[in-house]
Amino acid sequence: MDRLVNTVRPYAWGSTTAIPELLGVAPTGEPQAEMWMGAHPGAPSRTERGSLNALIDADPVGELGKPSVDKFGPRLPFLLKVLAAGAPLSLQAHPDLAQAQAGHAAEEAAGIPIDAPHRTYKDANHKPELICALTPFEGLCGFRAPAEAADLLAALGVDSLKPYVDLLHAHPEEAALREVLTALLTADPEEMAHTVAEAAAAADRLGGEHARYASLAHHYPSDPGVLAAMLLNPVTLQPGEALYLGAGVPHAYLSGLGVEIMANSDNVLRCGLTPKHIDVPELLRVVRFEPADPTVLRPEASPSGEEVYDTPTDEFRLSRFVRPEGAAPTDLTSTTPQILLAVAGRPKAGEVTLAAGESVFVPAGEKAELSGTGTVFRATVVA
Give me the active site residues, please: 270
Q: How many CB atoms lie within 10 A of CB 356?
A: 18
Contact predicate 156/258, CB 8 Å: no
User: Prior bond to 172 cis, omega within 30?
Assistant: yes
Closest to 341 measured CA to CA, from 74, 94, 3, 46: 3
Closest to 382 measured CA to CA, from 341, 338, 321, 349: 338
Helix (H, G, I), strand (E, B) or coil at 347: coil
Residue 208 makes CB contacts below 8 A (sequence gap 6+) with none
Q: How many CB atoms lie within 10 A of CB 199?
A: 23
Residue 326 makes CB contacts below 8 A (sequence gap 6+) with none
Burial of 308 (0-12, 13-18, 19+ CB in 10 A): middle
| Position 336, amino acid | T
Cα–Cα distance, 265 to 245 (Å, whole number): 14
Strand partners, 83: 34, 258
| Position 137, amino acid | F
